[in-house]
Amino acid sequence: MEIKFVSWSGKYPNLCSGTLKFRIRGKLYTLSGCFLLESGGTAGFDEDWNAHVSQGPWSISSDKLPSELLPFQEEIEEMINENIPQGCCGGCL
C-alpha cells in the first residue's frame, strides 16, 4: 500500500486539531477537524496542582474516517506517527 504524507496544519498548543492531507495510490485525501487526532499521551495535575504531561503515539478514531478509508486505518495511523510529533503537547492544560 502506498500512503504518502502531504501535510498537517496542527500546531502547538492544539497539535491534535488541524487539516491532514495524504495520498493513497495517488488520490489526495483531506481530513480536518477539532481533535482529529487522539494522543496516546496524557496531561493532568497532581494533588499539588503541578502539571504533568507525557507523550505517546497518535491514533485516529474510525468515526473520523470516511468509510472508504477504514480498511487503511492502521496504515494511516502509521503514516501519521512517522510524520507528526507525538502528543500530548499539554496545550489543553
Q: How confident is the model at residue 14 (pLDDT cuts 50, 70, 90)?
A: confident
pLDDT at 86: 86
Q: Is 24 within the bounds of a domain? A: yes
Q: Is the pLDDT of residue 1 over 60?
A: yes
Domain count, the chain: 1
Q: pLDDT by residue (tens digit) across 25-84? A: 999 999 998 889 988 888 888 999 998 888 889 999 889 999 999 999 999 999 999 999
Q: Is 59 within the bounds of a domain? A: yes
Question: Residue 20 burial (CB < 10 Å; 0-12/13-18/19+)?
Answer: buried
Strands (E), 25-82: 27-33, 38-39, 42-45, 51-54, 58-59
* Boundaries of domain holding 28: 3-40+51-83
Q: Is 46 within the bounds of a domain? A: no
